[in-house]
Amino acid sequence: MEQVSVLIAGGGVVGSAIACALVERGISDVCVIDLDLAGTYASSELNAGGARATWWQEVNVASCRDTIEFFREHAETFSFRPWGYLWLYEDRALFGKALERRALQTRLGLDIEVLEPREVAERFPLIDRGLEGIVGATFSPGDGLLNPNAVRRWYRERAEAGGARFLNRHYVEGIELVEQAPGRRRVERVHVVELAKSDATDEGRTIERVLTQHRVDPELALDHPSIRPGHFVNALGAWSPLLDAKLGTRSVSVPVRRQISMVDVRERDLPAGVDLKRLGMIVEPSGLYLHSEGPYVLAGYSDPAEPSGYAFHYDGDAFFTEQVWPRLAGLSSAFERCGHVRGWAGLYSVTPDCSGIVGRVAGVANAIEAHSFTGRGVMQSRAIGRGVAELIVDGRFGSLDLSPLDARRFERDRTHWVIEDLHI
């Protein structure tokens, strides 16, 4: 039986960041297993590429702030562009809450500007419609855009250079727990199966089938030795509830599909002085968000009525026509005749308070969880990776206190929660 110091389930941006931070702390005996290391269905690959620290809970603000500073230090590597986030508000009560939270954000070192509708029109000439309904806006110039694939790749390459191993097409079939004391168990063995390579034309469909049906058909499975981990980390993101069930713990996270469209805008339709290639993130009141993406504009919207579940299909022209285009055209005349290029869908792992889960798994001595960041995984990744490495090596958080993200917070009354904004 193979033994490793740390076994991480999930090789997305968070799992890779943890592996990277562990080797930086001198723990080279790290193994990361994932069904889809290419990231075809990874939430960290299918997001909008935004990075902001303008959240409403202190631990989220601080962890994103620190991670964005890391992105800024490696701006060229990650294609980090500090072009800012503009939030538009038409609900006076919600705008009031944003202003209240601005005090916290300012205390934690963020620069948040408050704009009147007139100032929005002057500074952002692209927005030439709908301002009569806007009560105010905030702009955070330190936030920006980046390439999430480059971030995940950097973590993985640095981890591998330090000795960590990444096993592709590997699936946790079962977990063997041993009782240490009443109510206290330990992960003794993790049973893993490797997915056999299928016909190249069926490769993507095979992975998607396993990810959505949560089982490996016997004819697709190869034998693989069980692994005995010193520490076991659940970093499976949207699939973390499956591992929770195998650990015998209750999950509070649910997977929710998010859809994004790529939009082509004719240059002659742009207002004078607008350079779409330097368009930062704009979030309009209904929750539609947009920013430049190469020669196109990326625009996403999440239907509040979207049911939870594992789904990757993109609704195509219907989604663009019904959900995206009306909101774009209501924001700017430039989108009146825009074209739909393509789109995709990915998963958020959503918790009741829309914040991630980080800490020790209750009742399991050597299990740690770091998942369900509700679209925030990339922008918190460096801080989360370091925090989990500190928890494993030192037994406690050090550089940043991540204890408010412990899952046991959901045992407290809901009135104690801080509900984050779920848009992006």
pLDDT band per the 50, 70, 90 thresholds, residue 419: confident
Mean per-residue pLDDT of the chain: 93
Mean pLDDT of 316-345: 96
Model pLDDT, residue 305: 86
Residue type, 69: E
In the chain, domain spans:
2-45+149-251+354-416, 81-144+255-350
Exposed / middle / buried, residue 345 (Cβ in 10 Å: 0-12, 13-18, 19+): middle
Model pLDDT, residue 272: 86
Model pLDDT, residue 217: 85
More confident residue, 388 or 45: 388
pTM: 0.96
At 24-68, the pLDDT tens digits run 999 999 999 999 999 999 998 888 999 999 999 999 999 999 999
At 338-354, the pLDDT tens digits run 999 999 999 999 999 99
At 169-194, the pLDDT tens digits run 999 999 999 998 888 899 999 999 99
Model pLDDT, residue 412: 85
At 294-311, the pLDDT tens digits run 899 999 998 888 899 999
Question: Rounded to 5 degrees, what are φ and ψ at 84?
Answer: 85, 165
pLDDT band per the 50, 70, 90 thresholds, residue 198: low
Q: What is residue 253's three-state secondary structure?
A: coil
Residue with tokens 């196109």: 296
Is-contact 161 25, C-beta < 8 A? Answer: no
Is-contact 300 247, C-beta < 8 A? Answer: no
Domain 2-45+149-251+354-416, what fold?
FAD/NAD(P)-binding domain (3.50.50)
Q: What percent of the chain has pLDDT over 70?
A: 98
Is-contact 9 234, C-beta < 8 A? Answer: yes
Q: Give yes or no for residue 366 having a pLDDT over 90.
A: yes
Count the neighbouring beta carbons within 10 Å of the beta carbon of residue 226. Answer: 15
Query: What architecture is domain 81-144+255-350?
Result: 2-Layer Sandwich (3.30)
Mean pLDDT of 279-307: 93
Q: Give yes or no for residue 199 having a pLDDT over 60.
A: no
Task: Give the H/E segment covering residue 81.
Answer: none
Cross-strand pairs, 187: 177
Orientation of helix 148-161 relative to helix 377-393, angle to 10°: 20
Among 399, 372, 378, which residue's Cα sits nearest to residue 388? Answer: 399
Model pLDDT, residue 87: 96
Judged by average pLDDT, the poorest of 49-53, 199-203, 364-368 is 199-203
Among 187, 224, 169, 182, which residue's Cα sits nearest to residue 38? Answer: 169
* CA atoms of 165 and 7, how far apart (whole Å): 10
Strand-by-strand arrangement of the 296-301 sheet:
113-115, 136-140, 85-89, 281-283, 289-293, 296-301, 254-264, 339-350
- Chain length of the chain: 424
Q: What is residue 370's three-state secondary structure?
A: strand
Model pLDDT, residue 424: 47
Judged by average pLDDT, the poorest of 141-150, 204-213, 334-343 is 204-213
